[in-house]
Amino acid sequence: MKNLPLEFLKISPGNVYLGRDKGSLYFAAERPRHKVEIDYNFEITKNCITEKEWRRVFEKYQKVPNYFQLNQQDVEDFLKIINEENKEFKFRLPSESEWELAKKQLIDSVLMPDKNGELIADQPHVSYWGAPCDGSPWLEDNSKSAGYGMQCTKKGKTGNNKSITPGFSLHKSHNKNIKFRIVKLPKDHVDSFDKKLPSEFDRFEILKREVIIAIFIGIIPSFIWAYFNASPGYIASSFGNLIMGGVFFSLLTGLIYRPKHPTLEFTENKLISIAPYTKKTRILNSFEDGPL
């Protein structure tokens, strides 16, 4: 890049786990836990783009966008300029998985997330269902998208084969001091989206699990309580109320706790589900091809 000396750090191919397998409704937006396999080399700037570097890129323009209150168009213009000036490499914001792989391979003293958060390329979505598993940024015309082209990554530890401690925010608006860094890729690199998760979860499996849970932790206990504590004839006269009360109680517990969900990953181009407790695996089809 002309007149823009940036220090890049090399990142080797590797994998990271994004999302969580926790079952409660509170973590629904962070499911499913899934493995992202990045099979290409890339480089990421050691530091966030500074105000001086920002101004240098826009120096030919009459108006320099406000560095301290970035918007999506400003960042896209910045990337367009530096890409037009370089014929060997292409530059863009890092995807969430690329950012997390960089954090995994580099110690915190080398690559430290900005305290105000950093922009990444992925669109915010209501969950990870439909997310690419090959390192590509999650960019698409999706009705489930939150409608804003960037999100911010926060500080978070990346352990071996462990999910990221909330690494991203789904908020549409960002801190006015939000920063960003860029990745460098070969000019011929293509974000392929060859491997991506199903677009939604298996509703029948969830319903079946909730029915079983409702029976054993809601309905049956409510009848046991009524048998020992209610007046004679109460069970017969309030049969429906006891069932509804048990179901309601079961749903309330779902806000706090549910068994863990499976982890999803691609193995030999097949999407597999790994049970959280037994570690047993099964091959899944995409939801577009039929039910699981």
d(CA 177, CA 67): 8
Q: Which residue from 267, 255, 277, 261 is spatially nearest to 129, judged by alpha carbons?
A: 261
Tell me how far CA of residue 102 lies from CA of 16, 111, 120, 137, 205, in angstroms. Answer: 10, 8, 13, 15, 35
Checking if the pLDDT of 251 tops 80, the result is yes
d(CA 183, CA 82): 12
Q: Which residue from 47, 43, 67 is spatially nearest to 57, judged by alpha carbons?
A: 67
Residue 116: what pLDDT? 76
Q: Which residue from 5, 34, 1, 3 is spatially nearest to 17, judged by alpha carbons?
A: 34
For 116, residues 6+ apart whose C-beta sits below 8 A from its C-beta are 175, 177, 178, 179
Query: Which amino acid is present at 278?
Result: T
Query: Which amino acid is present at 280?
Result: K
Return mean pLDDT, the chain: 83
Residue 201: what pLDDT? 75
Looking at residues 6-23, what average pLDDT do you find? Answer: 94
| Six token digits for residue 11 | 């990142």
Token pair 């099964």 is found at: 282
Residue 208: what pLDDT? 86
Residue 151: what pLDDT? 58
For residue range 110-140, what is the model confidence (pLDDT) as tens digits?
888 887 778 888 887 788 998 999 999 988 6
| Six token digits for residue 98 | 């690329």
Looking at residues 203-229, what average pLDDT do you find? Answer: 87
Selected residue with higher pLDDT from 138 and 157 = 138
Selected residue with higher pLDDT from 207 and 149 = 207
Asked whether the beta carbons of 122 and 151 are under 8 A apart, the reply is yes
| Six token digits for residue 72 | 């999506």
Checking if the pLDDT of 165 tops 70, the result is no
Q: Evaluate if pTM is beyond 0.85.
A: no
pLDDT band with cut points at 50, 70 and 90 for residue 291: very low
d(CA 110, CA 105): 10
Region at 99 (left for phi over 0; alpha for psi -120 to 50; beta for the rest): alpha
Residue 254: what pLDDT? 85
Looking at residues 242-270, what average pLDDT do you find? Answer: 89
List the domain boundaries for the chain: 8-186, 203-254
| Six token digits for residue 246 | 């048990």
Residue 290: what pLDDT? 37
Checking if the pLDDT of 289 tops 50, the result is no
d(CA 186, CA 195): 21
For residue range 49-74, what is the model confidence (pLDDT) as tens digits?
999 999 999 988 888 999 988 888 88
Asked whether the beta carbons of 57 and 291 are under 8 A apart, the reply is no
33-70 core/surface letters (b: 16 or more CB in 10 A; e: else): bbbbbbeeebbbbeebbeeebbebbbeeeeeebebeeb
For residue range 15-48, what is the model confidence (pLDDT) as tens digits?
999 999 998 888 888 899 999 999 999 999 999 9
Residue 43: what pLDDT? 97
Checking if the pLDDT of 108 tops 60, the result is yes
Residue 29: what pLDDT? 82
For residue range 73-88, what is the model confidence (pLDDT) as tens digits?
889 999 999 999 888 9
Q: Which residue from 102, 187, 195, 192 is spatially nearest to 153, judged by alpha carbons?
A: 102
The yes/no answer on whether domain 8-186 falls in CATH 3.90.1580.10 is yes
Residue 160: what pLDDT? 53
